[in-house]
Every structure is written in structure tokens, then in C-alpha cells.
Amino acid sequence: MTRDEIEAVAMALPATTKVVQWGDSDVYKVGGKVFAICGLRGGLSFKVTEIGFVALTEGGPARQAPYLHKGAWVIIDLDAADDADITDWLTNAHGLIAAKLTGLRRRELGLA
């Protein structure tokens, strides 16, 4: 999946915003909170559950995301997985971060 295709998937998720920071990385946020980063070390980093972290890093296509050691964040090479998996991972990452927002903030964003 290309960076443009990743952007299309991420921006189609509800209440998503994008900023470019940390050099030339595309940073996708929901409610001001990061759920995915494309371009950091040439890959795609995203939030996962603890179980997802284990599944993706132990024999899967991912490794621990650099600079994101707090919580469960992984990074994959853009050509390391098929498009459907990447779409699912981005959707799940968005949901994990959106769920951490306050109820008021989720309602303001139309997520509740």
C-alpha cells in the first residue's frame, strides 16, 4: 500500500485529522490523539492491543515501533502486508484511540 492509499484509508475514518510532523511523517489523529504514523523510519506505525502486539511482533510482519515504547505500538514496512490487513489495522487503531476519548469528546466528534 502506498502512502497515498494509506492516507485515503485513514482519512475515511470518522473525525480523522492529518498533520505532517517529525520530519516528513503523516500523523493521523482522532480527537487530537495519534492513532497512526506513516513515514516514520519508512514504515507505518499504529496502535494495537497487547494481544495484537504479540501476534504482530512474534512471527508477524511487525516490530516494536521506535520512539513509541509506551503502550502497544508496532511498525510495519509498507510492502510487508496486504492492503486488507493494513485497512483493518488502521481501523482498529482508530477505534482504540477513539475509545480512550471522553464521552463528551466522542459526542462532539460524532463518534458516540
DSSP secondary structure, 21-46, as one string:
ETTTEEEEEETTEEEEEESGGGEEEE
pTM of structure:
0.94
Q: What is the CATH number of the domain that holds 24?
A: 3.90.1150.30
User: Over the stretch 54-91, which tens digit does the pLDDT of each residue have?
Assistant: 999 998 999 999 877 778 999 999 888 899 999 999 99
Burial of 82 (0-12, 13-18, 19+ CB in 10 A): exposed
Instruction: Give the span between the Cα atoms of 78 and 14, in whole angstroms.
Output: 23
Domain count, the chain: 1
